[in-house]
Amino acid sequence: MRDTETTRRRLLLSGGAAASALLAGCAGGSGPSGSNDSNGSDGNETTDAGSNATGGDAESGYSVTMKPVGTVEFDAVPERVAHYFPGYADMAVALGHGASITSVGVPSRYHTGYYEQLDGVSVDKSGMTALVGDGGIDKELFYELDSDLHLIDPRWLVNNSFFALEESDVEELSSSVAPFLGNTIFRRTDEWHDYPYYTMYEAFEKVAEVYQERERYEAFAEFHDAFIDDVQSNLPPESERPAALLCFGSGDQPEQFSPYRLSDEGTNKKQFHDLGIQDALAETDIEGLSTSERGQIDYETMLEVDPESILVRGHEGKTREEFQNTVVAFMEEHPVASDLTAVKEGRVFRGGPIYEGPIQNLFLTERFAKLYFPDAVGDGDLFDRAELAGIVTGN
């Protein structure tokens, strides 16, 4: 245990709020609504009451407000932060605080290869603890991590049927180890998420408040907005943009797929929304993947929809060529899949990661712009790597 008198960053819930307030959800008050996630300035942002949106002097303390937890007060910038969602970890890296990350839920789902294209940007995954093990999540792990903040939506931990903690566990950890702060934003299909959502850049701004990195956040958001504007200015009219079926299918010879609704406003769809890719399931009654909906579809169901393109998740560890030589090659030889328009016309692509943050999103937007609109955007880099690296590293 570190010396709590000299290095421990103590963070307390404001106003003496009980730990059980973490699980109460949103009971009124201000906060983001179900706004779209197209960019960081879509006109739908709302500043939470009590949030120190301008940062402040970390020496004298500051506070950050985020649903569902509420307001958390800081007496210093946290040096050790536990994460579950890789998208939030990517935000920490984007703000120059990758070294603060003590954990992620499943490290294999934190795709860090994008950083290799940014000079001076890296993160050490080997030092991150996996929160999810064979038996789910062990409460004792949080004690071992001894983090200064749990940047994790506590209601995700309580409501996930695969590894749910007890509410009493979260209450205990918030009072005995460190408070929770965060909002599950990667999808919007969970019935238990009955409190306001945040767009990627609304959440990113909150993380910037945590790390007291307002200037770096604003530079990053400006870079993002200029990039998106430039890409969108070169795209064909919306009526000429294709539709896609987004799904999860594991293994090199997938036969069953978990569908996602591309129209869902979760952050993992941001690049598709920015590019105007339509949802091939829009006129169907097929539900999107959530903690309560685990339905699957097969090639026969896909053929009924016959989408213009198919995006298959679960293969982000493969290169495009490896994906083509395994999953796509299998579909091309499959007696049913081979009849799909997307397969016959060569429009089956890796679907990107389930969780993503602002750095990852820039690279994903570029990737799918090139895949779907090669004649419009060309084949070179669509944004300046050196400029982005300079923002992230503070240079």
Return the structure tokens found at 375.
């004649």
What local confidence, expressed as pLDDT, does residue 291 receive? Answer: 60
Q: Render 85-136 in DSSP notation, one character per residue.
A: -HHHHHHHHHTT-GGGEEEES-GGG---GGGGGSTT----GGGPEESEETTE
Give every CB contact of residue 223 below 8 A, 6+ residues apart in sequence. Answer: 383, 387, 388, 391
Return the structure tokens found at 53.
């949106």
Which parts of the chain are beta strand (E)? 11-13, 62-66, 70-74, 81-83, 101-104, 129-130, 132-133, 136-137, 149-151, 243-248, 258-260, 278-279, 309-313, 348-350
pLDDT in tens, 162-176: 888 999 999 999 999
pLDDT at 147 over 90: yes
What local confidence, expressed as pLDDT, does residue 211 receive? Answer: 98
Q: What is the mean pLDDT of the chain?
A: 87
pLDDT in tens, 178-207: 999 999 999 998 899 999 999 999 999 999
Residue bearing the bigger pLDDT, 8 or 193: 193
pLDDT at 40 over 60: no
Residue 49 confidence class, pLDDT cut points 50, 70, 90: very low
Domain positions in the chain: 11-223, 235-393
What local confidence, expressed as pLDDT, does residue 60 receive? Answer: 78
pLDDT in tens, 208-243: 999 999 999 999 999 999 999 999 999 999 999 999
pLDDT at 367 over 80: yes
Task: Give the separation between CA 385 and CA 219, rounded to whole angstroms.
Answer: 14
Per cent of the chain over pLDDT 70 is 83
Residue 32 confidence class, pLDDT cut points 50, 70, 90: low
Q: Mean pLDDT throughout 35-54?
A: 40
What local confidence, expressed as pLDDT, does residue 168 receive? Answer: 95
Return the structure tokens found at 240.
């000429």
Per cent of the chain over pLDDT 90 is 74
What local confidence, expressed as pLDDT, does residue 9 receive? Answer: 43
Task: Give the separation between CA 189 and CA 23, rounded to whole angstroms.
Answer: 19
pLDDT at 149 over 60: yes
Residue bearing the bigger pLDDT, 97 or 15: 97
pLDDT at 332 over 70: yes
pLDDT at 325 over 60: yes
Residue 161 confidence class, pLDDT cut points 50, 70, 90: confident
What local confidence, expressed as pLDDT, does residue 264 receive? Answer: 86
pLDDT in tens, 80-127: 999 999 999 999 999 999 999 999 999 999 999 999 999 999 999 999
pLDDT at 6 over 80: no
Residue 120 backbone phi and psi in degrees, to 5: 85, 0
34-43, 45-54, 116-125: range with highest mean pLDDT: 116-125
Q: Do domains 11-223 and 235-393 have the same CATH topology?
A: yes
Residue 56 confidence class, pLDDT cut points 50, 70, 90: very low
pLDDT at 46 over 80: no
pLDDT at 41 over 60: no
Q: 26-30, 116-120, 158-162, 336-340: which has the minimum mean pLDDT?
A: 26-30
Q: What is 11-223's CATH number? A: 3.40.50.1980
What local confidence, expressed as pLDDT, does residue 279 receive? Answer: 94
What local confidence, expressed as pLDDT, does residue 293 receive? Answer: 60
What local confidence, expressed as pLDDT, does residue 336 receive? Answer: 98
Return the structure tokens found at 203.
């959440």
The CATH T-level fold of domain 235-393 is Rossmann fold (3.40.50)
58-62, 158-162, 236-240: range with highest mean pLDDT: 236-240
Q: Mean pLDDT throughout 71-85?
A: 98
